[in-house]
């Protein structure tokens, strides 16, 4: 199976005053196309830093990161922004929806940045919103939607460009238990439809929805477990 992500001996250091914080210490990891991987670890383990690097939101100090055949560790900021828009769909704990925009308008945004013609992007956005069960909520703004519906809009926005990977950072963190189950079922469906899903969570029960759990500790991979 082809590799979507390959990181080799990745180091990430931050300068805080006169102190160097070693957030990641020589992390090596590969993820296949259509894998479903959960990343876990306590506070300070490096999981958020790893998420930011995988999502091209931050650059590494040392090492190599190849995303879908492109060595992104050598790219400039504008090139990283282009990679983010084309290759990565983000789902955040806080949804990150624009409050003045409808569900449809929020989902269309990545397609505008990608240069799709108006009619085509409107059609694609409607199709993706329908796939997450929101065809009857397309004209609603975030404050008119429940938490679960807002997360579905965020997932639709993440999927709309048909990215190489879906990065979900604590996607159930702001949801009640019933809604969390619904969102995890949706992520499971997205994976079964052929997408690569990477889930960052601190909840063991949520992580066990994945096929594989990578645990970080003190900036290193502590374990890498394939689930039955």
Give the three-state DSSP class for 197.
Answer: strand
- Which among 48, 138, 142, 161 has a CA at the least distance from the CA of 96? 142
pLDDT single digits (tens) 189-219: 999 999 999 999 988 999 999 999 999 999 9
pLDDT at 17 over 70: yes
Q: What is the pLDDT of residue 1?
A: 67
- Report all structural domains of the chain as residue ranges with CATH numbers, in order of start: 3-226 (3.40.50.300)
Name the least confident of 56-60, 91-95, 126-130. Answer: 91-95
| pLDDT, averaged across the chain | 93
Question: pLDDT tens digit string along 94-149?
Answer: 889 999 999 999 999 999 988 899 999 999 999 999 999 999 999 999 999 999 99
pLDDT of residue 43: 86
Q: Does residue 182 contact residue 105 with C-beta atoms inside 8 Å?
A: no
Q: Is the pTM above the cut of 0.75? A: yes
The residue-averaged pLDDT of 61-71 equals: 94
Percentages (nearest 5) of helix, strand, coil residues in the chain: 35, 30, 35
Higher model confidence: residue 166 or residue 74? Answer: 166
Each residue of 37-49: pLDDT tens digit?
999 999 889 998 9
Long-range CB contact pairs, 16-20, < 8 A, 24+: none
Residue 6: closest CA among 46, 44, 40, 33: 33
């Amino acid at each position: 199976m082809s590799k979507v992500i390959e990181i080799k001996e990745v180091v990430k250091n931050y300068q805080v005053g006169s102190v160097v914080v070693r957030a990641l210490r020589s992390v090596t990891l590969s993820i296949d196309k259509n894998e479903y991987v959960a990343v876990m670890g306590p506070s300070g383990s490096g999981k958020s830093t790893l998420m930011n690097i995988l999502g091209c939101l931050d650059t590494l100090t040392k090492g190599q990161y190849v995303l879908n055949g492109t060595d992104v560790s050598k790219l400039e900021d504008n090139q990283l922004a282009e990679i983010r828009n084309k290759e990565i769909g983000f789902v955040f704990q806080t949804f990150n929806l624009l409050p003045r925009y409808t569900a449809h308008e929020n989902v269309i945004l990545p397609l505008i940045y990608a240069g799709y013609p108006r009619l085509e992007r409107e059609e694609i956005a409607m199709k993706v919103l329908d796939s997450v069960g929101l065809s009857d909520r397309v004209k609603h703004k975030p404050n008119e939607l429940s938490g679960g519906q807002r997360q579905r809009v965020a997932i639709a926005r993440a999927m709309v460009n048909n990215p190489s990977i879906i990065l979900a950072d604590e996607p159930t963190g702001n949801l009640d238990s019933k809604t969390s189950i619904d969102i995890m079922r949706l992520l499971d469906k997205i994976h079964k439809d052929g997408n690569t899903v990477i889930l960052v969570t601190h909840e063991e029960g949520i992580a066990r929805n994945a096929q594989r759990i990578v645990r970080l500790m003190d900036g290193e991979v502590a374990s890498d477990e394939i689930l039955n």
